[in-house]
Structure 1
Amino acid sequence: MIVDKYIQDGQDVKVVEKLVDKLQDMMTPGEQIDYIALQKKPAVTILPDSIAVSSKRIFLCEFTKLGLATNFEIFSWKDIKDIAFKEEIFGSKVTVIPLTGENLSIDYIPKIQARKLYQLIKGALETNKKEETKIERITEIPKPAPVIIEEQEERPSDSHPISEYTTPAEPTPVPSYTTAPLPPPLNEQATPVEEADDEITLKLKKLKSLFDKQLITQAEYENKKNELLSQL
């Protein structure tokens, strides 16, 4: 019989046959029923509640309408947090603890069936936890390698950026450069006006060079240039 492996711990054959027929229709590819535990009350139990364990899920079954219908509470292993059972005088109370929602309990499960049920469910939860951990490690996105940026020599133009949204820095004082005039030829004597013109010209050239290198602002350049030109 197909139900022989489900009645080895005193389960009722007729009830197991009904459950197996219903559960077989709900099996997914590669899924199989591993164990069925039946409620057994002190009095005669015609339609006992039961807990069935497959390779992928757990089924809490309750017969209704004189056995013509069955209510199923079905959980995949990833939806189960834990399983617990408590041995009492007449059988054991088995409690399924889902990740969300209320705990579900079935009492009067024979003690030997409750113990096997506990072992199977605990083992399935441990296996599922290991598989989820393995998947997380495989799918973990590696951290990007640090980007190394080589420092380059900063150009003078980058050291003092000019922006309409920033407050300009304090004006940089213009250094004063003097050049010793060459001695005039023996037969010629340079006039004071020519010496003054040469010094102003040098200063204007130096001022233009500082502006071209962006070491002074446009306003500083214009002010200093006008100051030099006023000396002519």
Structure 2
Amino acid sequence: MSIAKFLQDGQDPKVVERIHDKIVDMLTSGEFIQYIALQKKPAVTLLPDSITVSNKRIFLCEFTKLGLATNFEIFAWGDIKDIAFKEEIFGSKVTIIPISDENLTIDYIPKVQARKLYQLIKEALEQANNPVFKIETETTVTPVAAPIHETPAPQDHTATHTPSANETTFEITNLQVPEEVHPTPEPTPVQPPLAAVSIPQEEDDELTLKLKKLKNLYDRQLITQAEYETKKTDLLSQL
């Protein structure tokens, strides 16, 4: 399989190919790799750490023992609470925040790759937490219908028999049939009055949403003040 699509942000082809071949062997049915980010320290690093994102999981890879062994930390999207990254002078620190485990951080991820990781993982987490995308297996129990016993129709026991010459005449009349008992119908429950329908508030326009999102990134220290002011000025100039 070609790895060219994983080399668009300056990744080392040899390292990407090595990591790709390892992870492909661990993919499940319907799973595929979306992105591979590689650590890039200021000094030469022959075996950098990496973060790989598939459509189902995230793989944190660390080469050990001069590349003879590999440590993997693997999380499904349902096991991850959030992702955060902090841009520094040399690359970014990317932190994976599991729901029930300690945070895992890989530093010196190039800034372009860190931003791409943040975007992909955020989208995956939003989909994983959206009920529309959750797949639930439900067991439906079909009740077995009870056998229906038909009540035989009352028979008329009044019989008239015309005897022959050697038979005795007999007659049965006025046999009373018990009346059928009908259950008393249950009262129809009174439906509560419908609740008043609240009128949805007017949604913010696109420019306001962008400004709020930009302010949120600045508050979380995901962008610098200079980047915040520059982007804010660009957005306000669109008014």
Shift of 1:132: 6.4
Query: Counterpart of 2:130?
Result: 130
Equivalent position amino acid for 1:104 in 2: L
Question: 1:131 Cα deviation (Å)?
Answer: 3.8
Checking the alignment, whether the CA contact within 8 Å between 2:128 and 2:134 is kept in structure 1 is: no
1:40 equivalenced with 2:58 (yes/no): no
Using the alignment, how far apart are the partners of 1:115 and 1:83 within structure 2? 11
Query: Quick one: distance in 2 between partners of 1:77 and 1:3?
Result: 24
Shift of 1:84: 0.4
Q: CA RMSD in A?
A: 2.3
Match of 2:62 in 1: 62
**Mapping 1:62-211, distance limit 5 Å:** 62-131=62-131
Partners in 2 of 1:75 and 1:49 — Cα distance?
A: 16
Q: Secondary structure at the match of 2:112?
A: helix
SS at 1:112 equivalent: helix
- How far apart are 1:149 and its partner, in Å? 5.3
**C-alpha separation between the residues in 2 aligned to 1:7 and 1:71?**
23
Alignment identity in percent? Answer: 72
After TM superposition, give the deviation of residue 128 of structure 1 in Å: 1.0
Specify the code of the residue in structure 2 equivalent to 1:47: L
Tell me, in whole angstroms, the C-alpha distance in 2 between the residues paired with 1:103 and 1:127: 22
* Greater percentage in helix: 1
Count of equivalent residues: 143
Q: Which structure 2 segments of 5+ residues have no match?
A: 139-184, 188-239
Output the TM-score relative to the length of structure 1: 0.58
CA distance in 1, matches of 2:135, 2:36: 30
1:130-155 deviations in Å (ceiling 9; x for gaps):
1467657x97xxxxxxxx955xxxxx
User: Hey, what does 2:219 align to over in structure 1?
Assistant: none
Structure 2 counterpart of 1:62, one-letter code: E
Q: What is the CA–CA distance in structure 2 between the aligned matches of 1:40 and 1:65, rounded to whole Å?
A: 19
Larger Rg: 1
Q: Please give the secondary structure, in 1, of the residue aligned with 2:129.
A: helix
For residue 71 of structure 2, give the secondary structure of its aligned residue in structure 1: strand
Shift in Å, 1:3: 1.0
> Does residue 6 of the first structure (1) align with residue 18 of the second (2)?
no
After superposition, what is the alpha-carbon deviation per residue over 1:91-129, rounded to whole angstroms, capped at 9, x for unaligned? 000000000010000000000000000000000001111
Amino acid at match of 1:53: V
Runs of 4+ in structure 1 over 4 Å off:
132-136
- How far apart are residue 11 of structure 1 and its match? 0.4
Mapped partners of 1:72, 1:29: distance in 2: 20
* TM-score normalised over the length of structure 2: 0.56
TM-aligned CA distance change 1:27 to 1:115, over 3 Å: same
CA distance in 2, matches of 1:69, 1:5: 26
Q: Which residue of 1 aligns with 2:52?
A: 52
Give the 3-state SS of the residue equivalent to 2:130 in structure 1: helix
CA contact (8 A) 2:58 2:77 kept: yes
Q: For the residues of structure 1 that align with 2:97 and 2:89, how far apart are their CA atoms?
A: 23
